Amino acid sequence: MAIQWFPGHMTAARKKATETMERIDVVIEVLDARVPEAGSNPMLREMREHRQRPCLKVLNKADLADPAATKGWLDYFNSQKNVKAIALSCKKPGEAAKIPKLCLPLAPHRGTSLKPLRMMVMGIPNVGKSTFINAVLKRRTAKVGDEPAITKNLQFFELNDHMQLVDTPGMMWPKIEYESDGMMLAASNLIGRNAYDEGEVATFLGDLLMQHYATQVKQRYTSVTHEMDGVALIETIAQIRGYRIRGQEPDFEKAAMTLLQDYRTGTLGQISLETPASRAAMIQTKLVPAYNPNHSDS
Helices 198-212 and 230-241 cross at an angle (nearest 10°) of: 100
Whether residues 56 and 105 fall in one domain: yes
User: Do 192 and 5 contact (CB within 8 A), yes or no?
Assistant: yes
Whether residues 21 and 131 fall in one domain: yes
Q: Distance between alpha carbon 170 and the CA centroid of its chain, in Å?
A: 11
Q: Judge whether 205 lies within some domain.
A: yes
Whether residues 152 and 234 fall in one domain: no
The confidence band for 150, taking pLDDT boundaries of 50, 70 and 90, is: very low
Domain carrying residue 30: 10-167
Total tally of structural domains belonging to the chain: 2
- Nearest residue to 36 (alpha-carbon basis) of 76, 81, 5, 96: 76
Q: Judge whether 295 lies within some domain.
A: no
Q: Distance between alpha carbon 195 and the CA centroid of its chain, in Å?
A: 16
Other CB atoms within 10 A of residue 155 CB: 17
Count CA atoms closer than 13 A to 31's CA, side-chain side.
29
Q: Which amino acid is at 16?
A: K
Over 70: is that where the pLDDT of 148 sits?
no
* pLDDT computed for residue 1 by the predictor: 61
Mean pLDDT of 228-234: 96
Whether residues 105 and 151 fall in one domain: yes
Instruction: Give the domain-ending residue among 127, 148, 167.
Output: 167
| 62-76: pLDDT as tens digits | 999 999 999 999 999
Higher pLDDT, 125 or 144: 125
Q: What is the CATH number of the domain that holds 228?
A: 1.10.1580.10
| 19-38: pLDDT as tens digits | 889 999 999 999 999 999 99
- Nearest residue to 85 (alpha-carbon basis) of 57, 109, 105, 104: 57
Whether residues 15 and 163 fall in one domain: yes
Q: Judge whether 274 lies within some domain.
A: yes
Q: Judge whether 2 lies within some domain.
A: no
Q: What is the CATH number of the domain that holds 112?
A: 3.40.50.300
Q: Judge whether 189 lies within some domain.
A: no
Q: Judge whether 174 lies within some domain.
A: no
Distance from C-alpha of 168 to C-alpha of 153, rounded to nearest angstrom: 6
Over 50: is that where the pLDDT of 295 sits?
no
Q: Judge whether 151 lies within some domain.
A: yes
Whether residues 205 and 73 fall in one domain: no
* pLDDT computed for residue 260 by the predictor: 98
Whether residues 126 and 235 fall in one domain: no
Whether residues 28 and 163 fall in one domain: yes
Whether residues 249 and 109 fall in one domain: no
Q: What is the mean pLDDT of the chain?
A: 89
Q: Judge whether 215 lies within some domain.
A: yes
Whether residues 19 and 163 fall in one domain: yes
Mean pLDDT of 123-148: 76
Over 50: is that where the pLDDT of 298 sits?
no
Whether residues 67 and 158 fall in one domain: yes
Whether residues 163 and 52 fall in one domain: yes
